[in-house]
Amino acid sequence: MKDVGMKPETLRSATATASFYAPGHCLQRIADRDTEKGDPQASARIAGILAAKRTDELLPLCHPLPIHAAEVHFTIAPDRVVIEAEVHTIGPTGVEMEALTAASMAALTLYDMLKPYAEPEELAIGETRLLDKTGGKSHFKRTLKQPLSATVLMVSDPVADGHKPDTAARQVVDGLEKAGFTPLDYHILPDSPSRVREAMQTALAAGTQLIITVGGTGIGPKDRVIETVEPMLTTPMPGLMEAARAFGQRRTPYAVLSRGVAGFADNSLVLTFPGSRSGAQETLAALLPSIVHVLEIHERFATHSG
């Protein structure tokens, strides 16, 4: 199965359709809700909803998801019944397969309930396809439409001294490059407020659109990044780091120990990431759609005002 542990949970929905073909007298029975096994529409509806809820048991590589809503609708046409299944969840992956499974199972149920009234060649299931889906990467973009500049500052004495490799900021750099940030500057700094402040001021003076510090957000005596960066913020955005901590806490209870802050310093978005590899990786995973969105909005406003 694909690992979705680092994907943020979002509201997701999918709608799928399937067609059940039958002769006119069978379609009339469906319309009248009259077969020897009972109401075909009601039975097919329940079968479709149950199938959506148990898709992970039917398809071996599907993830189990909490189904928050599922519904199946029927439209009777002259030569067929059009089945439409809609499924909603809040999760790390989409519900396309749940919707397709629901539509397919509803069609199979109609076939089972109408087969006593028709010859085998008169019944058929076809045109099963996805109509639409929302949520996830198709709705919340993780890549830029146009390149924007970024600076990543790794703040750590052991890394600066060469005693420890930088695995945290490198994760952030790789993630930003994949998202389309360029040019992208990367610097390693000691745990020195003056050095951090100087590097921040240089990036701000250059008009860098995104500045991320990595490290120095904990409670150690040298963790002074927050005290250095926070006074420079002209428009605080506390919701960003609140979201990152909430995302991280579902993976480790220690995520709440990060004192990270975020906001705009003049025209640059500034974020302070924790210094561990997992902490930096989780923070970027949680915030990347928001980073892309807020920067593109900010650039659009800047363009229009200019």
DSSP 73-88: EEEE-SSEEEEEEEEE
CA gap 180, 106 in Å, rounded: 43
Among candidate residues 32, 34, 39, 112, the one labeled active-site is 112
Q: Contact at 8 Å (CB) between 276 and 168?
A: yes
Nearest to residue 188, comparing CAs of 163, 151, 154, 217? 154
CA gap 306, 301 in Å, rounded: 8
CA gap 74, 42 in Å, rounded: 10
Q: Contact at 8 Å (CB) between 258 and 274?
A: yes
Q: Contact at 8 Å (CB) between 176 and 144?
A: no
Residues 6+ away with beta carbon under 8 Å from 303? none
CA atoms within 13 A on the CB side of 23: 9
Is 3 an active-site residue? no
CA gap 140, 88 in Å, rounded: 16
CA gap 301, 304 in Å, rounded: 5
Which active-site residues does the annotation give?
A: 112
